[in-house]
Amino acid sequence: MTGLIDSHVNLHHASFDADREAVIARARQAGVERMLTICDKIENFSEVIAIAEAHDDIYASVGAHPHYARDHLDLTAAALIGLGQHKRVVALGETGLDRHYNFSPAEDQVRVFRAHAAAARSLDKTLIIHTREADAEMGDLLEEEAGKGPLRILMHCYTSGAELARRALNLGAYFSFSGILTFKNADAVRAIARETPLERVIVETDCPYLTPVPFRGQRCEPKHVAEVQNAFAALRGLSPSACSALFADNFYRLFPTIVRPL
């Protein structure tokens, strides 16, 4: 039977410092066959890539979250390309626009995003997008960057609207859904998940954040991706085994350099 996949984990996060290896072991015991651990700041890349280098079933991204764009104004596409050539790096990001918190100025977020997009095109690696309360601007930016050359896009932890989803789908984007699918007040997210083409969907935990029901209040771990997958399966009327096979096919197509288990 095809295993589970957690397409977005933050295993370098300080909340895992005391028991990181145990967390990874519990994920495997729960049937998670692959994890993608995400870089949020360039200064953390060495920690992120060390986790991927130590585990055959974990891969990594390189990038700077839009919250920290103001700290990465000297980050160039060339620098990202240099780091992104590592064989365990399969994606650029997460990068994007966050107009909810605005921890970094809008123009800084756009500038850093463009560097990531250029690197993703050059390396032919997936661009992982964080977008919040910036639907029209993100749609424009994605269309502009995709117009410069082929760009493989993942809309991570999607919580935005139907119009941005439509525009991203037209660019060939994939969508990842998280434990938010299980939240009582997340009807808008579930509505998007019901309509997204099945061949464009994967799931994630975004751990240690967004713990799914029924484990709210606990630290989220990669093992909890089972609850996310089950929520999506129920939403779309799929069996757990069909969902596992679907998400695996989509994941390995989206990240073609990740080795699929035999």
Say what the pLDDT of residue 251 is: 98
* DSSP result, the chain: ---EEEEEE-TTSGGGTTTHHHHHHHHHHTTEEEEEE--SSGGGHHHHHHHHHH-TTEEEEE---GGGGGG-TT--HHHHHHHHTSTTEEEEEEEEEETTT--S-HHHHHHHHHHHHHHHHHHT-EEEEEEES-HHHHHHHHHHHHTTS---EEETT--S-HHHHHHHHHTT-EEEE-GGGGSTT-HHHHHHHHHS-GGGEEE---BTS-PPTTSTTSPP-GGGHHHHHHHHHHHHT--HHHHHHHHHHHHHHHSTTSPPP-
Residues 165-183: tens digit of each pLDDT: 999 999 999 999 999 999 9
Say what the pLDDT of residue 2 is: 86
**Cα→Cα distances 218→12, 76, 222, Å:** 18, 38, 13
Residues 219-228: tens digit of each pLDDT: 999 999 999 9
Q: Provide the residue-wise pLDDT of the chain in tens; the chain has 262 residues.
A: 689 999 999 999 999 999 999 999 999 999 999 999 999 999 999 999 999 999 999 999 999 999 999 999 999 999 999 999 999 999 999 999 999 999 999 999 999 999 999 999 999 999 999 999 999 999 999 999 999 999 999 999 999 999 999 999 999 999 999 999 999 999 999 999 999 999 999 999 999 999 999 999 999 999 999 999 999 999 999 999 999 999 999 999 999 999 999 8
Domain ranges of the chain: 4-254
Say what the pLDDT of residue 262 is: 84
Say what the pLDDT of residue 1 is: 67
**3.40.190.10, 3.40.50.10860, 3.40.630.90, 3.20.20.140: CATH of 4-254:** 3.20.20.140
